[in-house]
Amino acid sequence: MQTATRSAARADQFQTDGFAIVPRLYQDSEVAAMLQCLEAATTNGANFRRSQDLFAIRDLLGEVPALWPLLHTPALRSLLGGLFPGGCHVVKAIYFDKPAGSNWLVPWHQDLMINVDRKATGLPGFGPWTRKPEGVSVQPPVGVLENICTVRIHLDDCDANNGELRVVPASHRGGVVLAAGQPELTPAAVGCPVPAGGAMLMRPLLLHASSRSTSDRPRRVVHLEFSSFELPVELQWRERHFFVN
């Protein structure tokens, strides 16, 4: 398939199903540079979580700003240009390392919370609020979530054995799904294998989960959320570090 046709098919799938796979967004040398940068990062503070089943860095681009020039390639800009013609900001970034044999599993959920700089009570449609050591988060109106595109960049080959994401196609179109409504939807789930250097695009409202790893291979992912939405003046995105245009 020609590149333009492939891009159009991917855009259609993203629109309809709420996710799409880009098999090759980064070259091997670019992935190697990202891994080197992450390995050099310090591992202390509220944004770092390390156990035998998971190593995670929250506010990744605040903690490891040297990673951004490695991520922000012409290929990423071109991908995002199709989704946000007027430009967008990174609004959340997390590194997930699910090591070989990890027991870390993630049950079915939607990503409903955004990270903000403060609690601003009385904003219509915003809530509930949470306050954790790393900062304040809030569930915004559905329109804010519908504007976000998550790009999960895979640094290792990922498949059903080492914790691929499972998703329910098109489940992002029904707004917030209550826990009682999930069993009706999850039998339609599909697995999302992604090769190293590839990326998975998804809408935060897409129902997703991931399993334990039964493999001797790690599964390292850079999770980036992008948005062009301007929050009400009382609030700022807590991790709005970089603009892409």
Ligand X SMILES: O=C(O)CCC(=O)C(=O)O
Residue 134 sits in the site that holds ligand X (CB under 6 A): no
The single residue among 58, 172, 223, 238 that binds ligand X, judged by CB under 6 A, is: 223
User: How many CB atoms sit inside 10 A of residue 8's CB?
Assistant: 13
The single residue among 18, 99, 163, 218 that binds ligand X, judged by CB under 6 A, is: 163
The partner residues of 224 in beta bridges, in order of sequence, read 93, 151
Residue 31 sits in the site that holds ligand X (CB under 6 A): no
Query: What totals of helices (H) and strands (E) does the chain contain, helices first?
Result: 7, 15
Residue 58 sits in the site that holds ligand X (CB under 6 A): no
Three-state secondary structure readout of 124-164? CCCCCEEEECCEEEECCCHHHHHHCEEEEEECCCECCCECC
CA distances from 153 to 126, 131, 223 (A): 29, 28, 6
The single residue among 115, 171, 210, 228 that binds ligand X, judged by CB under 6 A, is: 210
Residue 221 sits in the site that holds ligand X (CB under 6 A): yes
Which C-beta is closer to ligand X: that of 208 or that of 238?
208
For the bound state, the minimum distance from the C-beta of residue 129 to ligand X, rounded and expressed in Å, comes to 19
Structure tokens at 150: 């998550």
Q: Which residues in the 165-184 window bind ligand X by CB under 6 A?
A: 165
Which C-beta is closer to ligand X: that of 115 or that of 210?
210
Structure tokens at 139: 């569930």
Q: Helix, strand, or coil here: 181?
A: helix
Cβ contact 97:56 at 8 Å: yes
What would the x/- binding string for ligand X be over residues 83 to 122, using CB under 6 A? -------------x---------x----x-----------
* Site of interaction with ligand X (CB under 6 A): 96, 106, 111, 163, 165, 208, 210, 221, 223
